[in-house]
A and B are shown apart, each in its own frame.
Chain A
């Protein structure tokens, strides 16, 4: 499930981009140290493989629907988490850019949900511990199955968390969660089965594939967990911060307008308060994500001309606005047609 730009707020997007960028930088550095440039072509090709493999769909017995391979966990098992993260990041970039699946701003969130979580959380926590060293089919399959399900559950949880923290959708956290987790449990089981089957096939045909990653035994799992924990903490903190920054004032404002009724909570008209409000207003290019100076002002002033509530004014639907919007749409259309015509004329000339 891809996050979409439209559902994200700037702070959440920034936090997830930060986590994704850190993970990409860390993985690139480690890979370079480990293998030099030799894995790069292989990674590019395997990224394309993920696309192609997702095309090979299959019918799920006893249901009318079909499923396909996920990618993140599968790649982590074959190539190690660093390469898997980089491959998933580029697969998601291509999906965002060429299919608008996700979006540029949501790319960070998608890399976290579908790359970082499978490769750096589910893989070391479940797959590594269950599968262990060596290639025993039973443990391999069990590990892969459980890790895939866990990765999808956590990924779905992350989608819900990011959406809720952004506050664009009104879906309450718990209801959205109770919708997403079961759906992703079903998807996880299907993905777990196909991942396990492919791994079994590879084990039977060509064991060499499992040695693509040059294994290294210097107590890696612990450090991996540490990094994963650190990144997750950063993500949560960023998210929490953004919640405090953008949601709480909302609630506060509601509470104020409800409690005070006529919203006449007079802020001291002079002095520090006013100066700060003015300063904030001047500085806030993105007022929604600062401390809502607009609303502070609205609350502080007495009722508006027609007795509109704070709420209605914040939404700001007015006749003049509608009229102006109509005119602007007409302008944009005219400009578009004009530009098109000029370009057309020029290319006809040339």
Chain B
């Protein structure tokens, strides 16, 4: 997140993806928020040694990637950039949890490797689905959905404003950083003192700008509430989407699908 260029590009990509049109994009934002949330809950509720049982859950992100026309490479890159902290915390599992476990009747590995694999799968599923939620709806949809889900209005408006201003302020910060870097050599002048005045200046400019924006908003009839041109409606397709996926999650959670499929094949 330290690179403004990348943050820009990432937000831009998500915004572009969110403005596509697909059956998924046309769903009620509430449907997508709730389904994603239940998906994440299902994922983390598995036993810490669950590896194979988690695999059927990949159907959800794969279906969304396919239906919403999202590049799997983009998603993979984002997840890779985020993975270090989770890897750091999980990588000690194999060392600390060394009870041998037999797989394939011949190979013995430490139980920690299994919980580590489980951790990585959880990470891919949960972090990926959050990104997919935004890639299919964008911030406006999210805001509308959240408000209908009884999140305090002040909080939602604040969130929307924050998002709009990120683009402006990132641009401004970017210009300041460029100006500093062009005027400093060998790392001199890039210390905390200069950065502090830059941050202070940015803050003062931001507050002045916020006051102008607020006046302009008041002038256009802002009364502290969110209004939309188009009301969102919970349609039949939303019901099928929600009910279908939730029953799939329930089946995956309650029944060990890989085991059943495997025994069927062996039985044949």
Contact = CB atoms under 8 A, between A and B. Distances in A.
Interface of A: 1-2, 4-10, 13, 24-25, 28, 31-32, 36-38, 40-49, 51-61, 66-69, 86-87, 89-91, 93-101, 103-105, 163, 167-172, 176, 190, 193-194, 197-198, 200-202, 205-206, 209, 212, 285-286, 288-289, 311-312, 314-325, 327-329, 332-333, 335-340, 343-344, 347
Contacts of B210: 41-42, 45-46
A44 B40 contact: no
B134 A98 contact: yes
Contacts of B128: 100
Contacts of B73: none
B213 interface: yes
A102 B61 CA distance: 18
Contact of B170 (A55, A168, A202): A55
24 contacts: A4-B126, A6-B122, A41-B161, A42-B211, A45-B162, A52-B206, A55-B170, A68-B2, A86-B158, A90-B158, A101-B1, A103-B40, A103-B126, A104-B37, A169-B89, A170-B93, A171-B92, A212-B207, A311-B111, A312-B102, A314-B49, A321-B258, A321-B262, A332-B62
Interface residues of B, number: 126
Contacts of B169: 45, 48-49, 51-52
Q: What DSSP secondary structure best describes chain A's contact surface?
A: helix
Interface in B166-199: 166, 168-170, 172-174, 176-177, 187, 190-199
Contacts of B261: 323-324, 327-328
A307 B261 CA distance: 24
Contacts of A339: 63, 66-67
A290 to B, nearest CB: 11
Contacts of B43: 5
Contact of A321 (B36, B52, B161, B166): B52
Q: Which of B102, B104, B154, B209 has the most CB of A within 10 A?
A: B154
B149 interface: no
A103 B221 CA distance: 35
Contacts of B36: 104
Given A44-B161, A47-B162, A339-B67, A55 B259 contact: no
A93 B159 contact: yes
A49 B223 CA distance: 24
Contact of B127 (A37, A103, A289): A103
A169 B90 contact: yes
Contact of A105 (B44, B102, B157, B204): B44
A31 B154 CA distance: 10
Nearest to A350: B21
B14 interface: yes
B115 A170 contact: yes
A203 B248 CA distance: 58
Nearest to A7: B89
B254 A202 contact: no
A329 B55 contact: yes
B217 A41 contact: yes
A205 B202 CA distance: 12
Contacts of A1: 85
B265 interface: yes
Contact of B165 (A48, A168, A321, A336): A48
A168 B48 contact: yes
A94 to B, nearest CB: 6
Interface string B100-142: 0111110000011011000110110011101101100000001
Nearest to A97: B134
Q: Which of A47, A58, A59 has the most CB of B within 10 A?
A: A58
A60 B111 contact: no
Given A7-B86, A28-B155, A55 B177 contact: yes
A324 B263 contact: yes
